[in-house]
Amino acid sequence: MNILLKSATVFDPKSTHHKKTVDVLIENGLISKIDNSINCPQNCEEINLENLTISNGWFDASVSFGEPGYEDRETIENGIQVAAKSGFTQIGLNSNCYPFTDSKSMVNYLKTKASGSPVTIYPIGSLTKKSEGKEIAELYDMQQAGAIAFNDYKKGIKNANLVKIALQYTQSFGGLVMSYPNNCNISGEGIVNEGISSTHLGLKGIPALAEELQVSRDLFLLEYTGGKLHIPTISTAKSVALIKEAKSKGLQITCSVSADHLTITDEELKSFDANYKIAPPLRTQSDVEALIEGLKEGTIDFITSDHDPIDIENKKLEFSNAIDGSIGLESLFVSLQETLGLELIIEKLTTIPQTIFGLKTSTIKEGEKANISLFTTKGTGTFTLNNILSTSTNSAYLGKKTTGKVYGTYNNGILTLA
């Protein structure tokens, strides 16, 4: 599809057109011309969007859909449309399905299912077979098929020796091990952050210690073995400090944070709304401030939506019985602008995460493949059910303020508008 983006402000520090308002002509999937004013040629659609800004396509490294196995939560087909309309051109797809993504055949299935779509899917394979934490999965074969990392999604691995072996083994082919930061023995039957809010509400708490012990253990293992380790969705101030210290030692350690943990605290739990039941649990305001500072100083490498659709039968229950999880693709950009600012958001959604996962980075210049997110930084509003595109509606951000708007994406020769 050939398109002409009119009066688009480019936000790409690597581009000579950075912060300039130009016309961008895209033909056969490539950026063919960038100029102050371009006339629309034949067989080309002119796109005029109010206060349009464009950047390199956003990458979300933690997305779950459900298919196969949980299609009632989200199908791959609809999930791809949700991602594209939310500004994402590339996603890391978690092994949060059944059967688990723990083999070469499952990686191939997911890539085939998403081929020819406006969003490029990069499967994240299970670290262990069936994500049971007992035996290493087919890591090398999965990487050869296209898996970009290995993680037992939302499951802290109890066996430290298994993580040690995984870190040693993956060095032979440059694999990236991900380890979810939760010590199951400490978190026990807790369902929310242990603190003043959990005590007032009479809810079983998960102490910050459960996360920090696991982070500390994995960092000791990494220092012993070498290799590459990524810790997804950290949520406490102490975790930031531990990872900052590890980076100062030169360890190959990276980490991420979810948008919800940058914008919402455990104060929201007083409503007993199960949409606020997520993992890791929502923490305190001081934790949120430490996470934001960790992003700004570079200790935290990137942001994810941690998009996790849960069907209404498993979410609209008493708080203690509901399944953890919140969708986040639709709300990520509009929730963070006031907190982080555009420059930091784009940095944490583009070059840095792509580099960590070994993906090709692009820039907005003539001759490059068009991999573009379209949005505006203008306007405010409230995030409501009308803003949700997912099959499931379990959003922790419902009812909260938004800034800006996502228009859509252009990727793989396909324009997708919200």
The residues annotated with a catalytic role in the active site are: 306
88 three-class SS? strand
3-state SS class at 353: helix
Rounded to whole angstroms, what are the CA distances from 288 to 167, 268, 291, 348, 401? 30, 13, 5, 17, 17
Contact assessment for residue 186 and residue 311, using Cβ atoms and an 8 Å cutoff: no
Residue 184 CA to residue 186 CA, distance in Å, equals 5
What are the C-alpha distances in Å from 64 to residues 52, 67, 100, 106, 154?
Answer: 29, 9, 12, 15, 11
Measured distance CA(101)–CA(122) in Å, rounded: 12
Q: Report the alpha-carbon distance of residue 266 to residue 283 in Å, rounded.
A: 5
Q: What b/e string do you get for 318-337 counting C-beta neighbours within 10 Å, with b at 16 or more? A: ebeebbbbbbbbbbbbbbbb
